[in-house]
């Protein structure tokens, strides 16, 4: 080696093949293309979710039981197929090939009790003000209120109310599945955990703009009031979406959302 001199060493260093990144060696697309695939996949999910609400042609308002039942069907179909979008995204990008789909979406038994109880406690503290206001405005005392809440007849009446089922069961479950469990695993490897927390809720907030169509159609208010209401709804749904995305990541999804190389570069839990 020494006999070759400096030129020979430079020749060897040039001729030696450089080690390619793991993603390039596996034939995976570059980071820029991965980001575009992730954003397009999230946009497709959001459009599919909102579009499923309008596959049924009806002259009835959205709160009519017949309309709600039809939308239940289409939304449940789209939501059940949404994990396939994550699976296709993983095949196209080659990210997290060894992680199961359910684990990647946050469905696992490890740490399930603190992951369920601590966010519930934090959310109760967050809504402590409105809960106290409701308790003060309620004409009955605490004992009578508990009797109403725990009465089987009261729950049976709720379960037969289509609006209650939509607002309290179907909409929250399907929205969290599509806009959180499916979108965050695709956005976090592309842009990191912090930006993903604030980017993912934008899809969730924009998806609520479709209410403008029905409000204008049935002339429920003035045009200015309708758009002002839509802007306000976008604001608080985006903020609450960022909160739920933060909970999704803080309950142990970090080690599954990021590849090993990005995982080492992410700040520890104390930085959050």
Catalytic (active-site) positions = 175, 208
Q: At what angle do helices 112-126 and 128-137 cross, to 10 degrees?
A: 60
List, as one string, the DSSP characters of 71-108.
HHHHHHHHHHHHHHHHHHHHHHH--STTS-HHHHTT--
Q: Which of 75, 98, 18 has the alpha carbon at shortest distance from 207?
A: 75
Residue 151: phi and psi, rounded to 5, are -70, 130
> Using CA atoms, how far apart are residues 67 and 61, in angstroms rounded to an integer?
7
Q: Any residues with CB less than 8 A from the CB of 159 and at least 6 apart, and which?
A: 165
């Amino acid at each position: 080696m020494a006999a070759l001199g400096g030129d020979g060493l430079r020749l060897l260093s040039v001729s030696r093949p450089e080690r390619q990144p793991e993603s390039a060696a596996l034939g995976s697309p570059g980071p820029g293309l991965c980001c575009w695939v992730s954003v397009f996949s999230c946009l497709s999910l959001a459009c599919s979710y909102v579009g499923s609400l309008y596959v049924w042609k009806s002259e009835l308002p959205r709160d009519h039981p017949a309309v709600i039942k039809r939308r239940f069907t289409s939304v449940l179909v789209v939501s059940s197929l949404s994990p396939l979008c994550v699976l296709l995204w993983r095949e196209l990008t080659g990210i997290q090939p060894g992680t199961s789909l359910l684990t990647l979406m946050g469905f696992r038994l490890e740490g399930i009790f603190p992951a369920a109880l601590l966010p519930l406690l934090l959310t109760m503290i967050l809504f402590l003000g409105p809960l106290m206001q409701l308790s003060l405005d309620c004409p009955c005392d605490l004992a009578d209120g508990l009797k109403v809440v725990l009465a089987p007849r009261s729950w049976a009446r709720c379960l037969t109310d289509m609006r209650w089922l939509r607002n309290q069961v179907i909409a929250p479950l399907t929205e969290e599945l599509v806009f959180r469990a499916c979108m965050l695993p695709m956005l976090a490897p592309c842009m990191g955990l912090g930006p993903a927390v604030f980017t993912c809720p934008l899809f969730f907030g924009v998806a609520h703009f479709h209410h403008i169509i029905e409000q204008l159609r049935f002339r429920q208010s003035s045009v200015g009031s309708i758009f002002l209401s839509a802007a306000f709804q976008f604001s608080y749904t985006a903020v609450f979406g960022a909160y739920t995305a933060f909970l999704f990541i803080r309950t142990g999804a970090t080690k599954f959302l990021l590849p090993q190389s990005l995982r080492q570069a992410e700040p520890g839990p104390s930085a959050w």
